[in-house]
Structure 1
């Protein structure tokens, strides 16, 4: 995985490592729109969240708690969206597991619309 930007964060000049623990990193980049947002990624290349080890799950939870405390102090968000995209149909574009941590603010145009809001629309009914 020589060219994976999550295996090698230094390959993306805009990406910076904010926190690190035994098996995970918290990285951030462009903050113009999603203020305070970032990703928790395993240091080992794991294609999806389903491939994480027990240690990586524990370290991910520890990292999430640390990141939330830091974001709460730095940005004072009104809520959060937290989630994984898995597989191309699920919206995953980089096939290295990564947990999105997105602070949400009451003054946003899409306040109150969670991760699933557009999936629940009639236009998404695929009528199997």
Structure 2
């Protein structure tokens, strides 16, 4: 049954509502964790709010806090189950950030020293102190102006 908080054509809403199958690993009334169809590594898991939220910029604390709490639970289970050397917690907001499913989701990607994942941080030169300071000031001003919606 389609919820009023879902998008009919959203594949993650379909999974959350049971209209599409997925390998579920954790669930609460607010969130769902399941394996992606093409995992990057063993244990790669997606955590989503059941309510449709397009991306991080459209989230409020009511959807984000349970999603992050579930991410912590799943991360601990991944550590216990697979003993990885590390873990990436990845969220993409917008197509420029490689978001392809426009329903907020957190990737938990267990990592091993010898895995086949490519490095994704570009090699860049350190910024000058003045550039860092001016960037930090712009961010601080906008944090004060925005505030978190609840």
TM range (shorter): 0.7 to 0.9
| TM value normalised by structure 2 | 0.68
Gaps of 5+ in 2: 1-6, 126-150
Describe the shift of the 1:32–1:86 C-alpha distance in structure 2 as closer, same or farther (beyond 3 A).
Answer: closer
Higher relative helix content: 2
1:53 deviates by 2.0
Q: For this pair of structures, how many residues does the alignment match?
A: 117
Gaps of 5+ in 1: 123-128
1:108 deviates by 1.2
1:29 deviates by 3.4
1:61 deviates by 2.1
Q: What is the RMSD computed on CA atoms of the aligned residues? A: 2.3
Aligned to 2:73, the other structure's residue is in SS state helix
Describe the shift of the 1:16–1:62 C-alpha distance in structure 2 as closer, same or farther (beyond 3 A).
Answer: same
Distance 2:25 2:39 in 1: 17
- The counterpart of 1:2, out of the listed 8, 16, 31, is 8
Describe the shift of the 1:30–1:64 C-alpha distance in structure 2 as closer, same or farther (beyond 3 A).
Answer: same
Segments of 4+ moved more than 3 angstroms:
10-13, 29-33, 119-122
- The counterpart of 2:28, out of the listed 21, 28, 34, is 21
Distance 2:11 2:91 in 1: 17
Higher relative strand content: 1
Aligned to 2:25, the other structure's residue is in SS state strand
Match of 2:83 in 1: 76
Aligned to 1:40, the other structure's residue is in SS state strand
Match of 1:67 in 2: 74
1:121 deviates by 6.4
Distance 1:108 1:43 in 2: 31
